[in-house]
Amino acid sequence: MSEPAEVIVEEPATFGLEELAARSGVPSRTIRYYQSERLLPIPAKRGREAVYTVDHLERLRLIGELRDRSLNLASIRELVANANPSRTVSEWLGVDATLSAPWSDDRPRVMDQTELDRLIGDRRAGLIGDLQRAEYVAPGTGGTWNVPSPTLLDHALRLYDAGIDVELSGHLRDVLRKRLAKAVDEMVKEIVDRVGAGFAGAATPDELATALGALRPVARETSSVILAQEVERALRTLVERGPAATKSSRRR
């Protein structure tokens, strides 16, 4: 009868501070700072020497990933302090992706001169200069043009065809953005206040991600509806009271 095979239990890898720094790429001074800020577990001791494990190495890698996502140390401490940190961090990284995902399909583009000329078509000479001054386009490198918003550029050309010059449409765009920015700041504050002290508040990561996912399309549609209603109201007032009433209300 053969002897049973010996089961070899591998001890977890351990290393000193300098080796941890070399493996992680994090300076030893920073590692000590993370320990003082309770971002890293306190290492064991072997005599007077600190003994670190692969858990410390993984934690340093995780901290680096979270810092790359612009989380501050206080937020990271809150995440890694959880009893099940890997799951919590994974959930919150999902929320981070939800927060940082674009809310508009309109993304900046680079056009070459031929493409921009084709877009302008047979409209008058000098129009590209007007678009540049109104910041619908900006010169790029190698004869290209940077277009911050292709949709707004298209709208500017449609308004131009309807008799609204580029300078005016650019001014209207800026007025609308300024007013909407203030409204959106107030909306975000309301959302934050309702879920608690900051987005982490009383809402779980899944609950917050669900709420943001629902808010994204609704915010786009609601803002379009409200803007259309307000334009209709203003035009109706203009018809009913005349241009003088609009000017007097603007002076208040």
pTM (2 decimals)?
0.55
Question: Does residue 22 sit within a domain?
Answer: yes
pLDDT, tens only, 161-220: 999 999 999 999 999 999 988 888 887 777 666 654 444 455 566 666 676 667 777 777
Higher pLDDT, 115 or 227: 115
In this predicted model, what pLDDT tens digit does every residue of 121-162 receive, in sequence order?
999 999 999 999 999 999 999 999 999 999 999 999 999 999
Structural contact between residues 170 and 137, judged by C-beta atoms closer than 8 angstroms: no
Angle at 209 between CA 204 and CA 214, to 5 degrees: 130
- Is 90 contained in some domain? yes
- The count of other CB atoms within 10 Å of the CB of residue 92 is 22
Is residue 148 domain-resident? no
Confidence class for position 98, pLDDT limits 50, 70, 90: low
Q: Give the CATH number of the domain where residue 64 resides.
A: 1.10.1660.10
225: in domain:
no
Write the DSSP string, 55-118: HHHHHHHHHHHHHHTT--HHHHHHHHTSSSHHHHHHHHHHHHHHHHS-S-S---EEEEHHHHHH
Q: How does DSSP assign 44-64, residue by residue?
A: EEETTEEEEEHHHHHHHHHHH
* Residue 117 placed within a domain: no
pLDDT above 50 for 104: yes
Under the banding of pLDDT at 50, 70 and 90, the label for residue 48 is confident
By residue range, what is the domain housing residue 52?
A: 14-100
Report yes or no: 60 and 31 within 8 Å, Cβ to Cβ. Answer: yes
Strand (E) or helix (H) holding 247? helix 243-251
CA-CA distance, 197 to 202, in Å (whole number)? 8
Position 99 confidence tier, pLDDT thresholds 50, 70, 90: low
> Is the residue at 75 inside a domain?
yes
**Residue 32 included in any domain:** yes
The confidence score (pLDDT) of residue 186 equals: 84
Question: Which tens digit of pLDDT belongs to each residue from 207-242?
Answer: 666 766 677 777 778 888 888 898 899 888 888 887
Q: What is the tally of structural domains in the chain? A: 1
Using a pLDDT cut of 90, give the percent of the chain over it: 37
56 located within any domain? yes
Three-state secondary structure along 157-214? HHHHHCCCCHHHHHHHHHHHHHHHHHHHHHHHHHHHHHHCCCCCCCCCHHHHHHHHHH
Nearest to 61 by CA among 25, 30, 33: 25
Alpha carbon distance 168, 155 (integer Å): 12
